[in-house]
Amino acid sequence: MTKGNNEDGERMSRRVMLAGTTLALGIGAAGAAVRSAAAQTKISQAAAKYQNTPKGQQSCATCVNFQPPNACKFVEGTISPNGWCLMFAAKT
């Protein structure tokens, strides 16, 4: 074997190895940035058609998106446990 060869007998250039590493790190960083941005983006109460009263048996307190004591994963602002919006998804 010649100097610089890997175990398979194929030569991998430093440039190819660095490019692959850079690409992998870039993809990981981009994915983290997208997750972070998505986690911080909420819609307005008006866009969600939020109301401070329940809709029949549906209320924020029984929604999987409600975050006690007064927040929502998707809707911005103060959310009443007795409220309701289009993002309602019943807890199972």
Give the per-residue pLDDT at 38.
54
Shared domain for 92 and 70, answered yes or no, is yes
Query: How many distinct helices (H) and strands (E) make up the chain?
Result: 1, 2
Shared domain for 22 and 57, answered yes or no, is no
User: What value does the mean pLDDT take over residues 41-61?
Assistant: 97
User: Model's pTM, two decimal places?
Assistant: 0.58
Shared domain for 51 and 91, answered yes or no, is yes
CATH code assigned at 60? 4.10.490.10
Shared domain for 57 and 88, answered yes or no, is yes
Give the per-residue pLDDT at 50.
98
pLDDT exceeds cutoff 70 at 26 = no
Domain span at 10 = 1-41
Shared domain for 37 and 52, answered yes or no, is no
Total number of domains in the chain? 2
Shared domain for 35 and 52, answered yes or no, is no
